[in-house]
Structures are given as C-alpha cells and as structure tokens.
Amino acid sequence: MIFCEDVCRRWYHTVCVGENDKTLPSKYICRSCETKNIKRHILNGDYNQYLADVVNGTQSSLRMNRFWARWPKRSLRCTFKPLSYEPVFFGNEKDLKEVCDYLSKLAKTLIKNFEDEPNHKKTMDLVFFVLLSEAAIISISVIHNVDFRTAERMFRKRNGTTAASEYF
C-alpha cells in the first residue's frame, strides 16, 4: 500500500498505481491530486515567463524547435512538416477546456511578438504541441521536486510511450 501525501490523503494499492518496491517514490502524490496541482499552477500563471522563454528561444525546447520548423517565424504559411503531438488529457473536458483557453490567450500574446496577425491553426499548434506539454512538465518538476529531465521521463512514463495522456 502507498499513501498519497497531498490533499486527498488516501491509500492506494502499489500495483494499481503502477509502482513496485523498486520504483516507490519517497513522497507519493496520486494522479488526481497531481492533476489538480498542475491545473492550479498553469491557471495561476506560475509558468508564463518560462513558457515565454521557450517561445522566444531563450529556454531550450525540442518541441519549440519542431514547431518553428513547421511554422517559420513571420510566416502564416505552414511548411507541412507534421508535428507529432503528445496527447495530454485531463480527467474531464471542463478542466482541459479551461487550461487550453488560458494557454490560447497566452499563445496569441506570445506569437504577436513575431507577427502582427497570428492565424488560428498556428496558435492551436503552439498550444497543443508546445505549451500544454511544457507547462505540464514544469509543473511535475515543481510538484515532485525533481529536475526537468526527470519530470520529462515521468511525463512520458504514464502510458509507456511518448504520450502523456494519463497525466491529465
């Protein structure tokens, strides 16, 4: 058995949460509490500066590099290089919509640094391909008190693939 040390304070079967004696974290936070914390951090704007740095290129991001390969700066024309999305789902659609609406407004503001009139598809690519994943990873880093690389691995581990759908 493992105990959630966050808000819910519930006990979980170790096997049911995908852990074993070798992978047990020193402090366990269940997915439900973790999702609430990630949503709260994003909506409070805790990472707006970090996300702005990612978009502006002062913070390294492979996702952002791929985004600019598809959408050259100051261009509304897509080069049709496909983006491989990492699906991110929240426990319910209302939470996902709330977070995406917030990140869409942020994306429009950030894109305006590069062009006068950002198009809708470009803004949505920025939200779903870059900002949502980057915000989730930096949140995981803070919540679990781990470095960014470890948070990225945790983000990808949930499905056993590069997708992170179970985090939300």
Q: Using CB atoms within 10 Å of the CB of residue 14, give its burial: 0 to 12 exposed, 13 to 18 middle, 19+ buried.
A: middle
Identify whether 163 is part of a domain: yes
Q: Say what the pTM is.
A: 0.73
Domain membership flag for residue 2: no
Q: Say if residue 72's pLDDT is above 50.
A: yes
Residue 145: give the domain boundaries: 31-167
6 part of a folded domain? no
Domain contains 9: no
Average of per-residue pLDDT values in the chain:
77
Average pLDDT of span 110-131: 76
Query: Do residues 71 and 118 touch, judged by C-beta distance below 8 A?
Result: no
Would the pLDDT of 165 be above 60?
Answer: no
pLDDT in tens, 135-155: 888 888 888 888 888 888 888
Average pLDDT over residues 42-59: 87
Count structural domains, the chain. Answer: 1
The answer to whether the beta carbons of residues 29 and 139 sit under 8 Å apart is no
Q: Is the pLDDT of residue 80 over 80?
A: no
Hey, is 155 helix, strand or coil?
A: helix
Q: Is residue 161 part of a domain?
A: yes
12 domain residue, yes or no: no
Of the two residues 167 and 78, the one the predictor is more confident about is: 78
Cα–Cα distance for residue pair 133/152, rounded to 1 Å: 9
Tracing tokens 């509304």 back to the chain, one arrives at 76
